[in-house]
Amino acid sequence: MQRWMPLIGETLGFEIKPDFKKSRGAYKGANADRHSTPPLADSVLRCPNCAEVIVGLKFATEMTSRKKTNSATERLRQDYIRLKKDPVPYVVAEPLPSNILEWHYVVTGPENTPYSGGKYHGKLVFPPDFPYKPPSIYMITPNGRFKTNVRLCLSISDYHPDTWNPAWSVSTILTGLLSFMAEKSPTLGSIEMPDCERRRLAVESLDFNLRNKVFCSLFPDTVEEMKEELRQRAESKSSSNGSAEEMGQDKTSNSVSSNNSTSGSRAELRANGQSPLQAFITNLVIFVSVVLFGLVVQYVVTRSSG
């Protein structure tokens, strides 16, 4: 803080100089060190009005914060332009119109994965001193891989500032997120779920996202694609139900025809004064008689030949 005092004094039009002698005298004790810098509260500010100095300190702090925010804003604008020129496969992203430090993204589930056909909405929250510090990463749509609405522990998130590289862009972050989603390695914020459940969530993700106002306002093209997909699903389901009903009717018709045929045969037997059992016995007697007649003929022929 001491190094800011001459600059603040120059800005306000007077000299600000701490009285180190008085401060050291008041700072004597077991832990006193003649080389230590006394707290600002122990410094005597030689100025007409100390309240103006406090205002100056606040102003300097605000200017520093604004400088960091402006740097982050400029960097994010550049990243946005690059992202539009060279999109990340399976991912689209847009910043909030009211706050460029908050971005929302949509991951389209890659083919041959349990997430195929799904749309997964999430957000990136960048610090004012980006790109020197990493963003927070959140997933909003239930997906079966990450918890929703909690900070995700990834090597590209604010959970690991020690591994963060300021050269990484928004595109790098989104690519890394997609890679982590396709993997199965556990991490803080990840969940274990069977692939069948992840496929179910992929199907349900479209309806879920359409209920999110921020999603619908930032991604109108994706919304139209999702609505068209839902219409096609409804038509396909309706067509499948119609085919199943027709097959059911055919089976019913065949069954009725078979029953009618059987009933007709039984009616004919009843008309002839025979029950089904009597008809069976009659047929059996006829069959046995034919067999015996054949045997007799064969015997006679054999005897004649002898």
For the annotated catalytic residues, the residue numbers are 153
- Which residues, other chains included, contact 91 with Cβ-Cβ below 8 Å and sequence gap of 6+? 105, 106, 107, 108, 174, 175, 177, 178
3-state secondary structure (DSSP) of residue 98: coil
| Cα-trace Rg, the chain | 43
Cβ neighbourhood burial of 117 (10 Å; 0-12, 13-18, 19+)? middle
> How wide is the angle at C-alpha 292 spanned by C-alphas 288 and 294, nearest 5°?
120
Distance of alpha carbon 122 from alpha carbon 217, whole angstroms: 14
Burial of 32 (0-12, 13-18, 19+ CB in 10 A): exposed
The H or E element spanning position 51 is: helix 50-85
In angstroms, how far apart are the furthest CA atoms of the chain? 156
Distance, in Å, from the CA atom of 168 to the CA atom of 204, rounded to the nearest integer, reads 33
Q: Would you call the peptide bond into 131 cis, given omega within 30 degrees of 0 as the criterion?
A: yes
